Structure 1
Amino acid sequence: MSRALITGATGLVGGHLLRLLNDEPRVTNIVAATRRPLPPMRKMFNPHDPQLSDALAQLTEPVDLVFCCLGTTMREAGSKEAFVLADYTLVVDTALTGQRLGARHMLVVSAIGASSKSPFFYNRVKGKMEEALIAQNWPRLTIARPSMLLGHRESQRFNESFFAPLFKIMPGKWKSIEARDVARAMLHEALSPSHGGVAILDSGQLREIAAHTPVY
């Protein structure tokens, strides 16, 4: 039986993952730290604060697994500083909180093309985030690098709407992926035995794992 901490549960992948965790019989407790309150769920404790780091700081009960589905865009963030806060600082804070609470496995949503040496700011921040988590020396770290995410959002992102038809026909890891499949693959990896270390999964691998994952 596992206890899970999740951040980013109000987002596209995180929303699917939260529901999967709630339905999963092997998960006994869920701590979903958010900026704004969530509708009640039977297994969920929802510490919330406009400053997400403050919500994380108040946690004291042990957890086994940590999921981070935080992510935004430059357009939504409004500035480079706000983007770094959402996609780097708060991700690292989530991981540090998980370690403080005794977790042994961290699972995070990154992005295709993530690299600290990328000429593109978005990919560079994602790459630095991954490096920061790797440097924390997790017994087990799973990094999901999806391509364009598909699914219903409360507010549609322009770039995703514009490029969606193209990414649906791209090959391999570049092909777009349903957010629910990313969530299903992450939960499968979280509850599957492993020798540990760092695993990086692209869209093709995530899609294959999701296809062979039973739905409860």
Structure 2
Amino acid sequence: MSRVLITGATGLIGGHLLRMLIDEPQVSHIVAATRRPVPPMNKVTNPYDLQLSDALTQLTEPLDIVFCCLGTTMREAGSKEAFVLADYTLVVDTAITGLRLGAKQMLVVSAIGANSKSPFFYNRVKGEMEAALIAQDWPHLTIARPSMLLGHRESQRFNESLFAPLFKIMPGKWKSIEARDVAKAMLHEAFSPSHDGVNILDSRQLREIAARTAIS
């Protein structure tokens, strides 16, 4: 039985993953650290603070697996500084918390095109985040790099509405993917990792793993 930490549980992928973790018999307890409180749920403890890092510092009980589904856009963040906080700093803080509490496995949502050398700010920050986690030398580190996400959001992102028809017909790793399939693939990898060390999965691979799982 595993104790897990999840950040980003109120987001598109994280919401699906949290519900799957609740139903997963191999999970005994879930720590869902959030900025704002979430409704009470079975197996879930919800430390929360507007400064998410402060919520993470409250944690003292041992952990086995860490999931991080944090992510925003430049438009939603409002500034480069706010974007770096959400997509780099808080992700690394999540990882540091997991390591402090004994976790041996981390699974994180990144993005297609992540590259620390990219001339594009978004892709560069995602790549720097990945590099920071890789440098922590996790026994198991799964990095999910989905393409455009499909699924219901309370507020639709402008670029996703504009480009969704195009990404639905693109080939391979560029084809858009259901957020639920990303969550299914992450859960599968948590309990049946493809291999030790670092495992980077693009949209095509995530879809294939999700298709093999029994989660309805």
- Report the TM-score, using the length of structure 2 for normalisation: 0.99
Matches within 5 A, 1:43-82: 43-82=43-82
Aligned letter for 2:203?
A: S
The alpha carbon displacement at 1:119 in A equals 1.0
- Counterpart of 1:179 in structure 2 is 179
Structure 1, unmatched stretches of 5+, are none
Whole-angstrom distance in 1 between the partners of 2:58 and 2:2: 20
SS, match of residue 75 in structure 2: helix
Any residues of structure 2 matched to 1:79-118 within 5 Å, and which? Answer: 79-118=79-118
- Equivalent position amino acid for 2:122 in 1: Y
- 1:6 is displaced (CA, Å) by 0.2
Distance 2:49 2:19 in 1: 21
Secondary structure of 1:128's partner? helix
Where 1:38 maps in the other structure, the secondary structure is coil
Call closer, same or farther: CA 1:195–1:149 in 2, change over 3 Å. closer
- Which residue is 1:163 aligned to? 163
Cα RMSD after superposing both structures: 0.8
CA distance in 2, matches of 1:8, 1:26: 21
Distance in 2 of aligned mates of 1:54 and 1:77 = 20
Residue type of the partner of 1:4? V
Shift, 1:194, TM fit: 5.1
Runs in 1 of length 4+ with deviation above 2 angstroms?
none
| Consecutive unaligned residues in structure 2, runs of 5 or more | none
Q: Alpha-carbon deviation of 1:195?
A: 4.3
| TM-score for the superposition, normalised by structure 1 | 0.99
Shift of 1:40: 1.1
Deviations 1:160-180 (A, max 9, x none): 000000000000000000000
Code of the aligned partner of 2:96? L
Aligned mates of 2:117, 2:91 — CA distance in 1 = 19
Taking the aligned partners of 1:194 and 1:201, their CA distance within structure 2 comes to: 10
Deviations 1:43-81 (A, max 9, x none): 100000000000000000111000000000000000000
CA distance in 2, matches of 1:107, 1:186: 7
Corresponding position of 1:11: 11
One-letter amino acid of the structure 2 residue matched with residue 192 of structure 1: S
> For each residue in 1:127-176, what CA deviation from the matched residue of structure 2 results, as whole angstroms up to 9, or x when unmatched?
00000000001011000000000000111000000000000000000000
- Partner-residue secondary structure (3-state), 2:71: coil
Q: Which residue of 2 aligns with 1:137?
A: 137
Q: How many angstroms apart in 1 are the aligned matches of 2:203 and 2:188?
A: 15
C-alpha distance in structure 1 between counterparts of 2:113 and 2:7, whole Å: 22
Identity among equivalent positions (%) equals: 84
Letter in 1 for 2:14: G
**CA–CA distance in 2 between the matches of 1:169 and 1:23?**
33
Query: How far does residue 193 in structure 1 lie from its aligned partner after superposition?
Result: 4.7
Cα distance in 1 for partners of 2:108, 2:134 equals 11
Q: Please tell me the residue identity of whatever aligns with 1:158.
A: F
Q: Does 1:202 pair with 2:198?
A: no
